[in-house]
Structure 1
Amino acid sequence: MNWPRAMLTDSGGFQMVSLLHLADITEKGVTFQSPVDGKPMLLTPEESIQIQNRIGADIIMALDDVVKTTITGPRIEEAMYRTLRWIDRCIAAHKKPNEQNLFGIVQGGLDPVLRDICVRGLVERNLPGYAIGGLAGGEDKDSFWRVVAQCTALLPEDKPRYVMGVGYPLDIVVCSALGADLYDCVYPTRTARFGTALVPEGVLKLKHKAMAEDTRPIDPTCSCMVCKNYTRAYIHCLVTKDAMGSQLLSYHNLHYMLQLSRDLHSSIIEERFPDFVRGFLQKMVNAECERSRKERDS
């Protein structure tokens, strides 16, 4: 890939949720039905690590038993304890511990007792870093943030803490305030494919008719190539009929997320993070109030 910076690979565990109708989960591993030819494929903790060893990423993830946070009952506890058993198999299978950092993944749904057991079990294994998994699956924000706060409070402060599958700007800012360090999500490019741009006030939907004659850039404060060269009206014309529109929005959205990350990081280093959070939230709140006012007036 010629990517000159750090790289992370996932274990395949999330596919237990996204391809649940094609998967059979047992203690041995997860058997997937190939979406290509229908043949069964077994992914074990050992095979997951072996694949990631061959890829050579700087951070590799343990195979965990993932369930949606909206699921309740004994399945949550079963998955959490299986995740702890599988981490030992992943550690044993890891052939490059001095070159690649194996992260364990905290599971336990929205149950604080199960999360506590899983966190403590992983910390006992003294891993290079830790992930908080099984979130951003439909649960309410209060529950989501509560679990993140609980896990970051228990995980070592001197090791990376990674919230998996999280990419909304608001969630990244809040979780960073709670002590998280790493995130991943398809949100910036996925929302671009639906004609939506990320802006400091929240989102801007370029498919709306109001954009058709708007000659302003997506974000007047943004320095990206798209905002320097194209108007909202031009991109509106593209997103309704041409793939180039989603490509331009993807470029802008990734630039927005990179700039947000830089600003967030520098605010922490310069010890002005509380002011950064207040300013970030104030822009969103003011924009939401303005949208509500316009809706009432219309």
Structure 2
Amino acid sequence: MSRFHWTCESTDGAARAGMLHTSHGPVATPTFMPVGTVGTVKAMTMDAVRSTGAGIVLGNTYHLMLRPGAERVQQLGGLHKFMDWSGPILTDSGGFQVMSLGALRKLDQDGVTFKSHIDGSTHRLTPESSTDIQHKLDATITMCFDECPALPAAPEAIAASMRLSMRWAARSREAFIPRAGYGQFGIVQGGTETDLRAESVKALTDIGFEGYAIGGLAVGEGQELMFSTLDTTVPLMPTNAPRYLMGVGTPDDLLGSVMRGVDMFDCVMPTRAGRTARAYTERGTLNLRNARHANDARPISPHCDCLACTRHSRAYLHHLFRANEILGPMLLTWHNIAYYQRLMRQIRAAILEGQLEALATRLRAEWAAEDWTEDEMPQPHIPPVA
């Protein structure tokens, strides 16, 4: 089996189209990873996830260590078999989840002691134990353990946090067990401070990882500040490794970040929106709970081949959400993941053709436009009952 690596196929400005080569198959980049925090992409079967074109999914160390437990997953054949996903899996290290526990956790130089949000039991995560848990889960991509400071914060607090994360990154790397086709990513920290981000990039590249992530953004700083941080950070990162922006974001966030040189993304937005009746489309976001959809026989989008759009009307989806039927979130989550995957394929194709700026102009105009008119929208195809 070949080593874990990323190859660049084409560039368009700072944007890159490439291929990630892993033990569990290749992944075309740019790519969006559906979030499967506890071994499931909420409200979806893995067959449904596969049907959207997703090439890689995300799991989480913190949640899976609490239940069902890394040892149990390992005994049952690893996370790929456990959740019925044969493709690559990236596991978040658990650092963000632990840091969000507030009073339930205690940080020291060695790691974090915390109480479970489930039953109050006490646990501890260190760079070594986080890396070991991810190994037991059989994560294709392991993330180093880091601290995620809450923003806004004083520059000296951000600096101390970043340097602690860099020490933890070195320990995570030491604990990582190399295997053909598996990789580990370092995480760039430093808030929105240009000098701290640069220091973090240098520390991680000196250690050496198979890929590099950008953490600590999309935490309320706003898109403009996020993009300006990417503008100064991404050019410092290695050009021969994948770049992953953690926890981002909206369709426009993805587009703007790709244009700044980012290759990989994850975010709960499309699945969370699907559970709350919000549909992402080429014409912006629709709220299927709105009364205007009650008699609308059109599909959500004329360009989507998901089950929600090919079999059902907006009126039916509106009814499902008003009736609190679980099928509503299932269908709309499927649609949103399908839209995100289709968007990434569009962006990748535009990079390969050298047409990303033109695509970006068109996409942003369409997102700002009104909903489709009646004559632009076909009726859904409802196959006859056999």
**Pairwise TM-score range, normalised by the shorter structure:** over 0.9
Counterpart residue number, 1:127: 209
* Offset at residue 246 of structure 1 (A): 0.8
Moved more, 96-105 or 200-209: 96-105
State the Cα RMSD in Å: 1.7
**Cα distance in structure 1, aligned partners of 2:151 and 2:344:** 27
Counterpart residue number, 1:257: 340
Amino acid at match of 2:201: V
CA pair 238-72 structure 1, distance change in 2 beyond 3 A: farther
TM alignment of 1:92-171, pairs within 5 A: 92-171=174-253
**Counterpart secondary structure, 1:286:** coil
Q: State percent identity of aligned pairs.
A: 37
Aligned partner of 1:24 among 106, 110, 116: 106
* Offset at residue 99 of structure 1 (A): 4.3
1:242 aligns with 2:317: no
1:281 aligns with 2:364: yes
Please tell me whether the aligned partners of residues 56 and 100 of structure 1 are also in contact (alpha carbons under 8 angstroms): no
**Cα distance in structure 1, aligned partners of 2:305 and 2:120:** 47
Higher strand fraction (1 or 2):
2
* Offset at residue 280 of structure 1 (A): 0.9
Counterpart residue number, 2:254: 172
* Offset at residue 71 of structure 1 (A): 3.0
**Counterpart secondary structure, 2:297:** coil
Please tell me whether the aligned partners of residues 194 and 233 of structure 2 are also in contact (alpha carbons under 8 angstroms): no
Question: What stretches of structure 1 of length at least 5 have no aligned partner?
Answer: 289-298
**Cα distance in structure 2, aligned partners of 1:42 and 1:19:** 13
1:56 aligns with 2:138: yes
Larger RCO, structure (CA 8 Å, separation 6 or more): 2
Please tell me whether the aligned partners of residues 211 and 232 of structure 1 are also in contact (alpha carbons under 8 angstroms): yes
Question: What stretches of structure 2 of length at least 5 have no aligned partner?
Answer: 1-82, 372-386
TM-score between the two structures when normalised by the length of structure 2: 0.72
Amino acid at match of 2:94: G
Aligned partner of 1:224 among 300, 306, 311: 306
* Offset at residue 92 of structure 1 (A): 1.0
**Cα distance in structure 1, aligned partners of 2:116 and 2:252:** 36
**Cα distance in structure 1, aligned partners of 2:91 and 2:328:** 29
**Counterpart secondary structure, 2:95:** coil
TM-score between the two structures when normalised by the length of structure 1: 0.92
Q: 1:161-203: CA deviations, max 9, x gaps? A: 0000013111011000000000011111101111100001220
Counterpart residue number, 1:271: 354
1:71 aligns with 2:169: no
Moved more, 12-21 or 52-61: 12-21
**Counterpart secondary structure, 1:245:** helix
Counterpart residue number, 2:97: 15
TM alignment of 1:201-216, pairs within 5 A: 201-216=283-298
Please tell me whether the aligned partners of residues 61 and 104 of structure 1 are also in contact (alpha carbons under 8 angstroms): yes
**Poorly superposed stretches of 4+, deviation over 6 Å:** none
* Offset at residue 70 of structure 1 (A): 2.6
* Offset at residue 18 of structure 1 (A): 2.7
**Counterpart secondary structure, 2:217:** coil
**Cα distance in structure 1, aligned partners of 2:283 and 2:209:** 39
**Counterpart secondary structure, 1:57:** coil
1:181 aligns with 2:268: no
* Offset at residue 85 of structure 1 (A): 0.5
Please tell me whether the aligned partners of residues 69 and 110 of structure 1 are also in contact (alpha carbons under 8 angstroms): no
Counterpart residue number, 1:190: 272
How many pairs were matched up? 289
Q: 1:7-37: CA deviations, max 9, x gaps? A: 1111001113432232111111011112233
Q: 1:58-114: CA deviations, max 9, x gaps? A: 211000011123333532111100011011111111122544211000011111111
Amino acid at match of 1:169: P
**Cα distance in structure 2, aligned partners of 1:280 and 1:69:** 31
**Cα distance in structure 1, aligned partners of 2:244 and 2:316:** 38
**Cα distance in structure 2, aligned partners of 1:165 and 1:73:** 22
Please tell me whether the aligned partners of residues 133 and 163 of structure 1 are also in contact (alpha carbons under 8 angstroms): yes
Amino acid at match of 1:176: V
Aligned partner of 1:233 among 315, 326, 342: 315
